[in-house]
């Protein structure tokens, strides 16, 4: 059997892809991120995290990793310096084109692994398009819906956008994008559900005041990343195992 030399699609030769897909590996993970203000951590947080998940999950799920999409759809934080967003229509077209190329390369299972909440609706539309248009199996996965209890156990609470949970994953996956001591306490606050503000007043959005503030402890970060990856592996495997019965 052909051995997977590297799980990153861009590091493989085209002949290797031809030999691997779909006989050895049928699925591909597309890390979907954004370039958006996070206050305590780098602008690329929403891309760094799904890349970290993808690299941990690919060997376990027998999947290759497509190049990450570093831009997504922005709303509340688009005005902050360094933030760059795409319109939902353009983003959907981009996802369709990328999906079309992956299908042409032989993949028949596509995992859109998302790190940015603003992408969610468009990713669901893209997954459905790929399924209907090409008959492939496609899904969108949002990591941040699952490790709430884990964040409480380790950090006392996940905190929300750019808070303890996200900061911990960046510390674990790309510590150079989590420079401790540079963030400002006034950048953290609890958005009021009664107010929809553009731009949002805080790049660090808490769920409860002073709960889940950015935490740069490396040991906590490693524990949280390990648990979050286990959650993702379990949720995805449940779907992928069922898909195997539908391929027959």
Q: What is the pLDDT of residues 31-82, one digit of tens each?
A: 999 999 999 999 999 999 999 999 999 999 999 999 999 999 999 999 999 9
φ and ψ at residue 227, rounded to 5 degrees = -65, -40
Among candidate residues 12, 17, 54, the one with its CA nearest the CA of residue 32: 54
Q: How far apart are CA 190 and CA 160, in angstroms?
A: 9
What mean pLDDT, rounded, does the chain reach?
96
Q: What is the pLDDT of residues 169-192, one digit of tens each?
A: 999 999 999 999 999 999 999 999
Region of residue 110 (phi > 0: left; psi between -120 and 50: alpha; otherwise: beta): beta
Determine the pLDDT at residue 1: 64
Residue 26 lies in a domain: yes
Q: Which domain holds residue 185?
A: 9-234
For range 205-226, the mean pLDDT: 96
Q: How far apart are CA 218 and CA 225, in angstroms?
A: 10
Residue 3 lies in a domain: no
Q: Is 26 exposed, middle or buried (0-12, 13-18, 19+ CB in 10 A)?
A: buried
Q: How far apart are CA 224 and CA 172, in angstroms?
A: 9
Residue 57 lies in a domain: yes
Q: Are strands 137-142 and 109-114 parallel, antiparallel or unpaired?
A: parallel
- pLDDT category at 233 given cuts 50, 70, 90 is very high
For range 18-24, the mean pLDDT: 97
> Is pLDDT at 14 greater than 70 in this prediction?
yes
Q: How far apart are CA 38 and CA 203, in angstroms?
A: 5
Domain count, the chain: 1
Residue 127 lies in a domain: yes
Q: How far apart are CA 89 and CA 86, in angstroms?
A: 8
Residue 70 lies in a domain: yes
Residue 39 lies in a domain: yes
Region of residue 156 (phi > 0: left; psi between -120 and 50: alpha; otherwise: beta): left
Q: What is the pLDDT of residues 110-146, one digit of tens each?
A: 999 999 999 999 999 999 999 999 999 999 999 999 9
3-state secondary structure of 110: strand
Q: What is the pTM of this model?
A: 0.96
Residue 115 lies in a domain: yes
Residue 240 lies in a domain: no
- pLDDT category at 158 given cuts 50, 70, 90 is confident
**CATH code of 31's domain:** 3.40.50.10310
């Amino acid at each position: 059997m052909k051995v997977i030399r590297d799980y990153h699609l861009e590091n493989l030769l085209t002949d290797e892809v031809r030999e691997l897909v779909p006989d050895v590996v049928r699925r591909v993970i597309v890390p979907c991120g954004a370039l958006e203000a996070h206050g305590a951590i780098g602008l690329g947080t929403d891309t760094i995290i799904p890349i970290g998940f993808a690299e941990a999950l690919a060997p376990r799920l027998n999947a290759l990793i497509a190049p990450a999409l570093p831009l997504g759809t922005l709303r509340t934080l688009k005005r902050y310096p360094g933030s760059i967003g795409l319109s939902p229509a353009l983003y959907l077209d981009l996802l369709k084109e990328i999906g079309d190329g992956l299908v042409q390369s032989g993949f028949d299972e596509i995992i859109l692994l998302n790190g940015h909440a603003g992408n969610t609706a468009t990713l669901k539309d893209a997954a459905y398009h790929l399924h209907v248009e090409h008959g492939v199996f496609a899904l969108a996965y949002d990591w941040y819906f699952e490790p709430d209890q884990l964040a409480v156990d380790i950090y006392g609470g996940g905190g929300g956008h750019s808070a303890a949970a996200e900061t911990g994953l960046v510390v674990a996956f790309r510590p150079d994008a989590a420079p401790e001591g540079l963030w400002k306490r006034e950048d953290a606050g609890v958005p009021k559900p009664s107010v929809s503000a553009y731009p949002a007043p805080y790049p660090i959005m808490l769920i409860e005041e002073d709960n889940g503030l950015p935490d740069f402890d490396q040991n906590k970060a490693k524990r949280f990343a390990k648990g979050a990856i286990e959650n993702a592996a379990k949720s995805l495997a449940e779907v992928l195992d069922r898909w195997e019965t539908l391929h027959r």
